Structure 1
Amino acid sequence: MRIGFYAPLKPPDHPAPSGDRRIARLLMQAMTGMGHEVFILSTLRSYNRDGDAALERQTAAAAAAEAGQIAAAWETGAVPKADLLFTYHVYHKAADYLGPALKQRCHLPYVIAEPSVAPKREHGPWAAGYAQAGMAIRRADVLLAVTALDHACLASFAGPARVTLFPPFLDPAPFAAAAARRDIWRATLAAQYGLAADQPWLLAVGMMRSGDKLASFRRLAEAAELARDLPWQLILVGDGPERPAVESAFASLGDRVRLVGQMDAEPLAGLYAASDLYVWPAVNEAYGMALLEAQAAGLPVLSVNTRGVPDVVRHGETGWLAADDSAATLAQALRQLLPDAARRSGMALAARRHVARDLSMTAAQERLAATFIRLGLRP
């Protein structure tokens, strides 16, 4: 089956790394691994950060022209026609103009993964984007909701029949391999970063950019300050324009904190496996791919019971979800978890099993196969 893949927020081949690009690539990898031919339908970005009406009109016009060119190429046989249109991440700031147009003209099944609806954007700067995103969501044959919160909202907006829960996922193999070499990684990283191997390692991974990410780093710094009487060392992975602000937030904690910058995939998997607790306040976080990565490597998670985090972390089983993201609540959770190595060890084992069973590439492929069968397509 030929699948035309489109990511209006950020195409999979975009040079700048991000969680959105990562998930787009994972989706393509999953479908390719199922034996399908997956191609990038278009690299046209519809992202409208500020709700610029002129930009939205330009995007709509460019998309109409491109949809016409794609459809004409298919109709004349210049290029093989797609069997399925698959769009990833549609919302008011990144509406899908191509999918609905090609579905209507070429009579193709149309799937949207991670659509979301924010009714408060129906009016105001993003009204046009909201309307287009809503139209695309209503025209899609299947909507793959990544969290229970999104599922409920989409079911209310577009009807429950076309909405399927499709949790985030990853390939757990590299993280399981790192977990098998935990002692080696811990010794190596302790020497590399000057860490004490006999003290608990706390880990946080995130892009250092303004907005919610910076807010999460600052909240983490506040919680660490409140728990500074406990034995721990904190490793921060990531980089970005707000790195100086992150450094400033943690400055009072001195050498108990290591900012190690961005890391390649293999040593990062090793750091997950070598650490003792992943800690992230998840301020306005949709769900957080790093939470999956940590668990896949056998690292229990301390986060917050908000938005999509409970969809990927099982409270009391694979980690601990604080009732709120206040520094005091997070610090209290640290006081409960850090002294209890046996509890963390049990969570670590459960976390690896949880990802392997429910949030793995294999699990995602099984859900995709069921979706394709539902559409009458080859799974």
Structure 2
Amino acid sequence: MKKIAFYAPMKPPTHPVPSGDRAMARALLKALDYGGVTAEVVSTLQTRDKAGDEEVQARLFEQADAEINRLIDQGRRADWQVWVTYHSYYKAPDLVGPTVSAALNLPYVQIEATRARKRLKGPWAHFAQAAEAASDAAQVIFHLTERDAEALHAYGPSHQQIKHLRPFLPRVELPPASSGFGPMLSVGMLRHGDKFASYQLIADALKLLETPEWHLVIAGNGPALDAVASMMQEFGDRVDLRGSLDESDMQKLYSEASLLFWPGVNEAFGMTYLEAQAAALPVVAQRRPGVCDVLAPGVYPEPERGPEALARDLDALLGDSGARIARGQAARKYVADHHLMPAASRVLCQTIAELAP
């Protein structure tokens, strides 16, 4: 059985706070295990600097140096065959993996690494340079979206392999399907910034609905809870904020909903789209990079068309149960064909077998 060292500098899979990043890291571990690869999470050092603070970055470089020494010592006693890093980018670069891999003579692999050349100057310059160096050191980089692939191909060394790993659900089979009747559902962390922008679009679209009766359930929690609750207050009991839910409760929500409504402002891709479509929910979202990599083929409005286009899509689905159910079933088949764990496991484990025969 192959054994790899696994590291997620953005957020370790053991982190107590749920997020899409943590969910994807956990999904990767399951996919590796499914394919007969044992993955050891070798570090929980988080290198994220969300504000571009040079002092924070300097401190994290120091912590990384100490972690490197520890891991080289540990690695000499371990039987790791490959090092895999998930999600290294200019705000959370892998400051550890390339050096440890080189010292232990391990193949170095990245998953969802991104290149941001415009960040090589400015407040994240040192971190961006470290992220570029880590990407340069990788023998293989798996990209999850076509947007990431463009920069990887443009700036990567000629010998580097760039491979497509579709975002996937850590499931072998599909969950129970929704009947297509029930409330609309929105799923996303309640925080300021991009997520809040999606909630603002949701509120603006709800005001424009012509459907006389509708109900929306929002699943999520975070520091913007009060602000989102205030935003939705004018809709009264037609909007139900459920807070943070565990996996089984979330699956119940998906199975009881009629559609997923999530605009997707600056989403990397959005695991909630896969979860909803797997449960046969049609999706109302904007056509955005990353998001399009996980949405079933269809017509989605461009962001510049604003909440008016989202409201029209909602009215069309709410007013036609036949079209709603058909679109949901097509989305479910799309996930079954392209975004479940067995396919992802084959892609990952085949590459690892080639690197460590």
Q: TM-score range by the shorter chain?
A: over 0.9
Partner of 2:84: 86
**In 2, Cα distance between the equivalents of 1:254 and 1:135?**
52
The 1:73/1:324 distance shift into structure 2, 3 A limit, reads closer
**In 2, Cα distance between the equivalents of 1:159 and 1:221?**
46
Query: Conserved in 2, the CA contact under 8 Å of 1:172 and 1:296?
Result: no
Partner of 1:264: 246
Partner of 2:278: 296
2:325 maps to 1:345: yes
Partner of 2:47: 46
2:12 is paired with a residue whose SS is: coil
2:255 is paired with a residue whose SS is: helix
Q: CA deviation at 1:229?
A: 4.0
2:301 maps to 1:322: yes
Partner of 1:154: 152
1:214 is paired with a residue whose SS is: helix
Query: Conserved in 2, the CA contact under 8 Å of 1:315 and 1:321?
Result: no
**In 2, Cα distance between the equivalents of 1:48 and 1:301?**
33
**In 2, Cα distance between the equivalents of 1:81 and 1:271?**
43
Percent identical residues: 37
Specify the code of the residue in structure 2 equivalent to 1:169: F
Query: Conserved in 1, the CA contact under 8 Å of 2:263 and 2:286?
Result: yes
Partner of 1:205: 187
1:345 is paired with a residue whose SS is: helix
Q: Runs of 5+ in structure 2 lacking a partner?
A: none
Specify the code of the residue in structure 1 equivalent to 2:194: D
1:205-236 Cα deviation digits (max 9, x unpaired):
11111111111111101001111544321111
The 1:229/1:341 distance shift into structure 2, 3 A limit, reads closer
Count of residue pairs the alignment pairs up: 354
For the aligned residue pairs, the C-alpha RMSD in angstroms reads 1.8
**In 2, Cα distance between the equivalents of 1:228 and 1:332?**
8
Query: Conserved in 2, the CA contact under 8 Å of 1:236 and 1:258?
Result: yes
Map 1:49-68; keep pairs closer than 5 Å. 49-68=50-69
The 1:270/1:17 distance shift into structure 2, 3 A limit, reads same
Q: CA deviation at 1:178?
A: 2.9
Query: Conserved in 2, the CA contact under 8 Å of 1:95 and 1:130?
Result: yes
Q: CA deviation at 1:301?
A: 0.7
**In 2, Cα distance between the equivalents of 1:152 and 1:370?**
23
1:134 is paired with a residue whose SS is: helix
After TM superposition, the structure 1 stretch with the greater mean CA deviation from structure 2, 297-306 or 266-275, is: 266-275
Map 1:69-80; keep pairs closer than 5 Å. 69-75=70-76, 79-80=77-78
1:278 is paired with a residue whose SS is: strand
**In 2, Cα distance between the equivalents of 1:71 and 1:304?**
46
Q: CA deviation at 1:40?
A: 1.0
2:338 maps to 1:361: no
1:243-291 Cα deviation digits (max 9, x unpaired):
1111111111112111111222112112112211111111111111100
Specify the code of the residue in structure 2 equivalent to 1:268: M
2:109 is paired with a residue whose SS is: strand
Partner of 1:233: 215
**In 2, Cα distance between the equivalents of 1:230 and 1:120?**
48
Partner of 1:24: 25
Q: CA deviation at 1:177?
A: 3.8
2:284 is paired with a residue whose SS is: strand
Query: Conserved in 1, the CA contact under 8 Å of 2:7 and 2:42?
Result: yes
2:192 is paired with a residue whose SS is: coil
1:174-199 Cα deviation digits (max 9, x unpaired):
8x3432xx46xx9xxxxxxxxxx7xx
1:25-70 Cα deviation digits (max 9, x unpaired):
1111111222222111111111111112122222222212221222
Map 1:274-293; keep pairs closer than 5 Å. 274-293=256-275
Specify the code of the residue in structure 1 equivalent to 2:10: L
TM-score by length of 2: 0.94
2:112 is paired with a residue whose SS is: strand
Query: Conserved in 2, the CA contact under 8 Å of 1:172 and 1:355?
Result: no
The 1:302/1:280 distance shift into structure 2, 3 A limit, reads same
Q: CA deviation at 1:159?
A: 4.8
**In 2, Cα distance between the equivalents of 1:247 and 1:72?**
50
The 1:234/1:54 distance shift into structure 2, 3 A limit, reads same
**In 2, Cα distance between the equivalents of 1:155 and 1:233?**
45
2:113 maps to 1:115: yes
Map 1:97-116; keep pairs closer than 5 Å. 97-116=95-114
**In 2, Cα distance between the equivalents of 1:126 and 1:230?**
49
Q: CA deviation at 1:173?
A: 5.7
Q: Runs of 5+ in structure 1 lacking a partner?
A: 187-196
Greater RCO, 1 or 2 (C-alpha within 8 Å, sep 6+): 2
2:90 is paired with a residue whose SS is: coil
**In 2, Cα distance between the equivalents of 1:73 and 1:173?**
34
**In 1, Cα distance between the equivalents of 2:302 and 2:317?**
15
